[in-house]
Structures are given as C-alpha cells and as structure tokens.
Structure 1
Amino acid sequence: MSKNTPQEFGKLRAALWPIHGYELKKFLPMGFMMFFILFNYTILRDVKDALVVTAPKSGAEVIPFIKGWLVVASAFVFFFVYTKLTNIFSAEKLFYGIVIFFIAFFGLFAFFIYPNRELFHPSQDFIQQVQDSYPRLRYIVAIYGIWSYAVFYMMAELWGSVMVSLLFWQFANEITRTQEAKRFYALFTLIANVALIFSGETIARFSELEHAEGVDSWGVSLRWMMGTVVVFGAITMFIYRWMQKNVLTNPMYYDAAEAAQSKTKKVKKPKLGIMESLKFIFTNPYLGLLAILVIGYGVSINIIELLWKSRLKEAFPDPNSYAWFMGNFSKYTGIVTMALIFMTKGVVRKFGWMTAAIVTPLIVFITGGLFFLFIAFDQEMTLFMENIGLVGFTALMLAAYIGAAQNILSKGTKYSLFDPTKEMAYIPLDQESKVKGKAAVDVIGGRLGKGMGGWINQGLLLITAGNAMTIFPYLSIIVSVVVLIWLISVKALNTRYLAMLKASPESSK
C-alpha cells in the first residue's frame, strides 16, 4: 500500500478526514488516548478552581501564589525524578506507573481526603487569627488552611504538563512517521476540542445532581467526577497496552530501527537558558518584537483571569454552582475554538498577516475593556439594566459572563490566528535565527509572559494587603498598557515581516 497520501484524497476528504482505512488501527487508539487524557484534564482543571476559589478564607487571589510556588516547584521535582526513573524503567512501565500515581491520588482525594478535610486542615478560626495578624500574607496563610486543595491544584496542573505535553506527545512523536504526522496531528487538535466539549458538559451535569437534604452535594459531585477520571485513566492505560501488543509489533505501523534512524536524522533543537535567550532576543529587534507578542498575551490573560475568577466567586459562591459555570465555560470554549479554526482558514491569504495577527490583541482589548467597565461601574450598570427592563441582571453576573466570553474568544483566536501567524513570522529568517530564535522566544515569551502576570498579581496583593478588587485599578492600567504595546508591536513586526519576505529569494518563486 502506498503511503504517499497527498494525491490520494480529494480536497474535502483531505481537509476533513485524511486517514487511510489501514491506518485506523494506529490512528484511532492514539486519538482515543488523547481524548481521555484531555477529558480528564478539563475536569481536573475546572474542579481545582472550584475547590480553591470557593474554599473558606480563600479566593481567586490564592491562585497566583499556588501557581508561582507550588506548581513550579513540583514541576522541577517531578522532572528531576522522571529523568532518574528513565534510567531504571522502560518507557512503558513508566507510563503505567505515572498514570496509576495520578489516578490513585485523585481517587484518594475524592473518597477519603475531602470527606475528612476537617481532620487534615487547621481550623478556620486559627486561619482567620493568623490572617488578621499578618494581613499582607493572608493568601499564603489561606493556602496553608486548605493545603490538601492546593495539593490537588498542583496535581491537576501536573496532569496537564506530564500526561499531555510529556507522555502523550513523547509517545506520539516516537511512533508516528513524518508523513503520518502531517495528517494525524491536525486531527488531534480537533479531538482536543471535542474532549473539551464532552468534559465540560459532564462537569455541568454532575454539578447539577440533586441530593437529599443534609447531604454534602459537592462531595457527591466530586466523587462522580474523580470516579470518571480514575476510570478514563485506566482506559488510557488499557489502550496504551493494546497498542504495545497489537500496533507497535507490526512493522506496517512501527519499526523501531526506522524510528531510531529517523531520530538521528532530526536536527537537534537548541535548549537556550534564560540569559542566552535574552541576549539572543535583545540583539535581534525582529525576535524582540515576536517575544513582546507572546509576553503580551501571557501577561494580559493572567491578569484578567484573576479578576474574572474573583467575580465568579461572588456570582457563584458555592463549589457546585462554580463548577457548573466552569463546565459550561469549557464546553463553549471547545465549540467556539473549533468554529474559529474552520472560519479563519484563509484569513492570512485574503487579508494579510497583520489582519490575522492583530485580531487577538483587539479581542483582548475590546472584551477586556467591557469586562473592566462592568467592574468599575457595577452599581451604575446594575441600575441602568433595571431601568431598561433587565430586572435580575446585575453587573456582577454580567461581568462573570463577559469575562467568560473574553476568555473564550481570546483563547479561540489564539489557537486559530495568533499561533499560526507567530509561526509564520519565523519563515523569512535565516536558519540560525529560525532555530535559535524560536527557542529563545519560547523560553522568554512562554515563561516570562505567564510569570510576569503572576508576579504582578502577587506583588500587588502583598503590597496592598487587599484583594483582587483592591488592586483592580492598577491591574486595569497595566493590562491597557501591555495590550497597547502588543498592538504597536504587531504593526512594527508586520513592516519588518513584509520587508524580509520581499528580500527573500523565495518571494520571487
């Protein structure tokens, strides 16, 4: 059977389902693995927020501290241990061991730790006393007061980075041939969004379950959701084992010698440190502008999310209602992202690079501005809505929904327009700048963007000893400045990008 696929499909088939019948035995189990891993991740991501945000003496303000300290530290520890274990165990045994470790914790949390949380956590009175004594450290103290929830948050974050970014893609890159990857990987993106939709609906349904009076409804919902995570984790291991026995033993689908030879041919990507990356970017204005784009997205989204989740707690104060909202949010994120990916195909070709690249910062600016408006003038906006007949629609509730729309549209345009245009911007560069430049922008942009947003949130909370609404005026100014710089950088980068394309030898072809 020929594996030269481009000529073997019609245009519609190539766009929607570029998979040969004989490849289903390999593609489908990989697709189901990704579906179940990301299904679990969505449940864990939404549950972790519901736990820590709605917990007593806590709030959305604890998230920057958990992410900045616990999650970062645990990631370093995990990858240190993982590198040691790779010298002892096979990749297959490591996969089973890591999945069992995760699902055992999540099952233990739902069925033992959470029901007995009062035994494990210090008393709320004690936490309140310490917070009153050290107001600037109130959210750090709050983490201690709900330490098991913070550990759950940390483990949920690790599931995303370990199971998705490390184990799944490591496995996929190992067994997928280059010609297969060109067709398989685009569909994996589609599967990821389908998983978002189904898992979001599952969260919403479990959060709406009716219970007898006196029953801890959130505890019951939590057990259903974590039970699903455990079952789907076990199914993922079963599929992985099935592939080891029935797919990877067939040379038609996988040849170990061929894979090893392919690895040796691959150009090793440089791993630049922070200082090397900074030096490389600062000596190249083009890469510097690219880094500003990535940093701008990371900083603005992290800051807006803190404010949005603090409003969500006010609008949906109990964990079941909060989880219900987040489940629906995840579902619509998947739907809108899929729609935008299909709708925005050809935007660059028809309207140019700048039009496609500027959509995301404009979306953040417009929707973020609306969100800030409802926060800053909540009483006036509530009164205005009552005057026009929208009784019952408070500014707080609308801020929660506008914040959700802002988040959904920002993420949707990031995946459909921002990421593709960012990758296109590397095309006119010379080979060294392409390889080292991408590594530098990924290090600086990815880490610094998320990190700066978290550091700003932490710093202002510690300095003011306040909450998200206390620091809202400062955050709104910072976001406005960051997005403005982002917009200016898009225009400046577009000028350089077009000039380099014209100067490129390939432009005449």
Structure 2
Amino acid sequence: MSTKPIAQQEPQFSKLRAAIWPIQGSEMKKFLPMGLIMFFVLFNYTIVRDVKDVQVVGSSGAEAVNFIKFWGVTPVSILFVILYAKLSNILSKENLFYFCIVPFIAFFGAFAFIIYPNKEFLHPSAESVLALQQSLPALRFIFALWGSWSYSIFYIMAEMWGSVVVSLLFWQFANEIIRTHEAKRFYPLFPLLGNIALILSGLTVNYFSSIAHLYPPETDVWGISLNYMMGAVVAAGFAIIAIYWWMNRYVLTDPLYYDAADTSKKVKKEKPKLSIGESFKYLISSPYLGLVALLVLGYGMSINLVEVTWKSQLKIQYPLANDYGAFMGYFSAFTGIATIVLIILCKGIVRRFGWYTGAILTPAILLITGLLFFAFVIFRDSLSWLTLFMGVTPVFMAVMIGATQNILSKGTKYSLFDPTKEMSYIPLDQELKVKGKAAVDVIGGRLGKSGGAVVQQILLVVTSTTATQISIAPYTCGIMMLVILAWMFSAGKLSRMYNAKVAEKELELKTA
C-alpha cells in the first residue's frame, strides 16, 4: 500500500495552536527525532564550550583566545572543509555523518580519562614557558598556549563541534529532509527544544563544578568534574548517532515524510560531483552565497570582539577553575532560559513580517548591547559612583553587564539568526546546499571569529608589550560598530534575493 507525500501547502491551525505548537500529529514522527538531535547536539556544545573557556582562559589568559582562534581553529576549519568536500563525493550521506561525528566523541572521552590525568607529563614545564615568553614578548600568548597544548586542542575541537555538528551536520540534514512549507513552522521550534538542552547542560556544568567541598584541598577536583562532564558528552554523542540511524531507516524511507523516498514517479538524478577547486570556484561565483557568508562573518566577528574582553574580566573575578566553571554553568542555563523566552516572543516574526525583519533584529540587538558593555568598560572610572552605590566591585559589574550582553546576543542568534540563515539555503540547488553550506558555515563562521581575533592580535602586539583587552577596548568598540553596520546592509540585499528565489521555486512546484 503506497503512501502519498504530504501536500505542499500550509496546514490550518487555530490562532492559539499556531502560536504554541504549529505541528500536525502526523508530522511528529519527523519533527520529534530532529528536535532530539538538536537537543543532544546543543547539550554537548554547551558543556564543551564552557570547559574550553575554563581551561584556556584560566591557563593562558583571555587574550590568548585571539591567537588560538586564528592560528588553531581557522587552519583546522579549512582542512576540514577540504576533507569534507572530498568525502562528500565518496561516502554516502549517512556514512559521512558518522565519519564526522565519531572522532569528536572519541576525543572528548579520551581527554577526560587519558590526557588530562597525565597533563604534568605531557605539558612543558612552567619555567620553560616563562623563559620563552620573556625572550620573545610579542609571542607570549602563543607560548602560553603551547604550555598547555592539550587544552588548546580541546579548545579547537570544542569550536569545531559548533561549526561541524551544529551548523553543518544538523542543519544540512534538516534542509535536506524538511520541505519549504514545513520549515516555516519547524525551524523556529527546533531552537526552542534545543535550548532546553542549554538549561540542563548549564546546570550540569554548574553542579559538577561545585563539588570542591566534597574532597580534600589537595585533590584535583577539576579532573573529577571533567570525568563526569565528558562522560555525559560521550553518552549524548551516542544518542545522536542512534537517533540519526533510526531516522534513516524509519523516516527517510517513507514518502509521507521525505520526498526523495517517493521513487514511484521519479527518476533519481545523478548528483553533480565537482573537484575541490571547482567547488570553491562555484561558491565564490555565487553572489547569493557571498551574502550569506557576510551574515555569518558579521555575527562571528562582532560577538568575538565583545566576548574576549568580557572573558578577561571573568578570569579576574573567578581565578579558580571550578569557580569559573560554576559561573559558566549558570551563564549557559540563563542563556537557555532567555533564548526560550525570545523564541516564544519572536517565533511568529518571520511568518508575519517576513524574512528581513527576522534577519535584521539580531545585529540591531548586538549593536545596542555591545555599545552598552563597551561604554562601561571604557568609562568605568567615571562610573565608579555607580559601583559604590550598588556595593559591588568594578570587575563584578563588568562581568554582569557582559554576561547580560552575551545572553541576549546568543538568545537572538538561536531564536532569529540561525532560523533565518538556514531558511536562506532552502531555495538553492543540491550542490550549493551541500558544499556551499559547508564552505559558508565552517569557513565563514571561523573566519568571522578569526577576523575579530586578528584585529585584537594586532592591537595587542602593536600597542604595547603589556597590552590587555581593556587597554584596546576603545578600538574594538569602533570596529564592532562598522562590522555590524555592514552585516545589516548585507541582510537587506540578501532579503530581496531570497524572496525572489522562494517565489521562483514555488512557481516551479505549481507548474510541475
């Protein structure tokens, strides 16, 4: 007995149902496992993101983040895209997914149970690192990263999890199997389910970072915390693989949920296979993808310019690894709560006001909150009366303002930026969806953050051998403003092209 695909039309809901849960009962078999994958992916991302900051900022300083993003994360991202483009022509989509995700799970498990317990043997001595820093002050942060190189590798892998698993593997899978009319309802809800993971993973990080009182003072409590947290990451990683395996066998084989499964009237077209050089040339020649890349670059660069300055204050406020981790756990949990609230408030924006409105709100909020943060950092001496009145230190005040800015910026990213960005891929052909998305998300996202890192590297090296994030804050604030304004201009231009492509695709479906 054959099953016909769901009609390409918008289902009718009551106003209350459309606002709360615009999903048909027959769509749950497709929507729910995708939501669970998003849940576990973000659960892991939050934990490894918090841990990477605790280790690198704590051992090498917040300023070193600028160097590892450019000299570590960016080259690895480029190498991954080259490998991914090659393997996409060799492996099936399912095997390519497993090939990409398994190394992450293996590394995070090995780090906690093998590498970290032997760090004293694996890392160079503090004396040798200090001697190198004194002989070449301009490279002091590079030597600091080398002094705790296993933490640096963990940082790179955590960043790559965000680019590869969150931005590439999940969203590419979603774009492949979710129809255009479903995306308008599914995509705003994916982050809603996924950000429940931010709350739970943030509380997980906070709980396992707050166990110091249970052990003698001489115990390496952070090592014990790592065992628990990386154990959770490995378990969630296997859950992602299991759900993905199940969907490939019980969802993607049913034409009710996946158009490509309906082979009764379709002849399977041979997927175009381009060489690596041809793929990059194809992407560069696409103005549409260029604008998508500018959006990704704008977000990555602007958030980096604010975040590193904030983390420099965070290290001063919380010098111990477990205290730092406990704060980051609460920070992630509050980010999840704020994101869910923003998703509830904003999920009807694209449907009611269009793609452009949803896309422009994220840079607007980043611009406003970023200016408020830098205003306090730069003019903190003039605002000392405020900290005295509130009974807090200037460092604590900077940490709280920066945390608020980061929570709002990440909340708008998950509730508005990610859904609108992913919607922009849907009208594209298969080649641009697969390889174009890989290049834009992995290279574009990394170059965005690396661009901010390069700017701050230059300022730290050129201004003074003792320069800090605070001393270069006026410059980073001005650059942040220019980047966000360029981002907003690109969003406007992309909006017109996106609407034209959607209208063209809908016309093709009607006449098919």
TM-score (norm 1): 0.78
Alignment partner of 1:6: what SS? Answer: coil
- Of 42, 51, 56 in structure 2, the residue corresponding to residue 47 of structure 1 is 51
Matches of 1:396 and 1:248 in 2, distance apart? 53
Aligned-residue offset at 1:405: 0.9
Matches of 2:185 and 2:469 in 1, distance apart? 45
Match of 1:471 in 2: 472
- 1:55-454 aligned at under 5 Å gives the runs 55=59, 58-86=60-88, 89-209=91-211, 210-214=213-217, 215-254=219-258, 256-258=260-262, 297-344=299-346, 360=362, 363-378=365-380, 381-382=383-384, 384-386=386-388, 388=389, 390-391=390-391, 393-414=392-413, 416=415, 449-454=448-453
**Are the counterparts in 2 of residues 39 and 195 from structure 1 also a CA contact under 8 Å?**
yes
**Residues 143 and 172 (structure 1 numbering): CA distance in 2 closer, same or farther, change over 3 Å?**
same
Gaps of 5+ in 2: 426-432, 504-512
Aligned-residue offset at 1:472: 2.5
Higher relative contact order (CA 8 A, sep 6+): 2
- Structure 1 residues 203-239: Cα deviation after superposition (integer angstroms, max 9, x where no partner): 1222112431132111111111100001111122222
State the AA in 2 paired with 1:328. Answer: Y
**Residues 259 and 72 (structure 1 numbering): CA distance in 2 closer, same or farther, change over 3 Å?**
farther
**Are the counterparts in 2 of residues 363 and 406 from structure 1 also a CA contact under 8 Å?**
no
Deviates more, 1:44-53 or 1:476-485: 476-485
**Are the counterparts in 2 of residues 290 and 493 from structure 1 also a CA contact under 8 Å?**
no
Matches of 2:172 and 2:485 in 1, distance apart? 38
Match of 2:429 in 1: none
Matches of 1:293 and 1:248 in 2, distance apart? 31
Match of 1:432 in 2: none
Aligned-residue offset at 1:52: 0.4
Deviates more, 1:205-214 or 1:122-131: 205-214
**Residues 12 and 263 (structure 1 numbering): CA distance in 2 closer, same or farther, change over 3 Å?**
farther
Deviates more, 1:374-383 or 1:315-324: 374-383
**Residues 336 and 267 (structure 1 numbering): CA distance in 2 closer, same or farther, change over 3 Å?**
farther
**Residues 369 and 82 (structure 1 numbering): CA distance in 2 closer, same or farther, change over 3 Å?**
closer
Matches of 2:454 and 2:279 in 1, distance apart? 20
Aligned-residue offset at 1:320: 1.6
**Residues 258 and 75 (structure 1 numbering): CA distance in 2 closer, same or farther, change over 3 Å?**
farther
Identity of aligned residues (%): 52
- Structure 1 residues 151-188: Cα deviation after superposition (integer angstroms, max 9, x where no partner): 11111122222222333233334444444444333321
Deviates more, 1:193-202 or 1:216-225: 193-202
Match of 1:431 in 2: none
**Are the counterparts in 2 of residues 302 and 450 from structure 1 also a CA contact under 8 Å?**
yes
Matches of 1:292 and 1:84 in 2, distance apart? 25
Aligned-residue offset at 1:147: 0.8
**Are the counterparts in 1 of residues 378 and 470 from structure 2 also a CA contact under 8 Å?**
no
**Are the counterparts in 2 of residues 378 and 396 from structure 1 also a CA contact under 8 Å?**
no
TM-score (norm 2): 0.78
Alignment partner of 2:469: what SS? Answer: coil
**Are the counterparts in 2 of residues 332 and 408 from structure 1 also a CA contact under 8 Å?**
yes
Gaps of 5+ in 1: 427-434, 505-509
**Are the counterparts in 2 of residues 107 and 226 from structure 1 also a CA contact under 8 Å?**
yes
Matches of 2:172 and 2:299 in 1, distance apart? 27
**Residues 452 and 273 (structure 1 numbering): CA distance in 2 closer, same or farther, change over 3 Å?**
farther
CA RMSD of aligned residues (A): 4.5
**Residues 98 and 452 (structure 1 numbering): CA distance in 2 closer, same or farther, change over 3 Å?**
closer
Alignment pair present for 1:22 and 2:49: no
Q: Number of matched residues?
A: 486
Matches of 1:348 and 1:6 in 2, distance apart? 15
Aligned-residue offset at 1:134: 0.6
Alignment partner of 2:214: what SS? Answer: coil
State the AA in 2 paired with 1:246. Answer: Y
**Residues 424 and 97 (structure 1 numbering): CA distance in 2 closer, same or farther, change over 3 Å?**
closer
Matches of 2:83 and 2:486 in 1, distance apart? 40
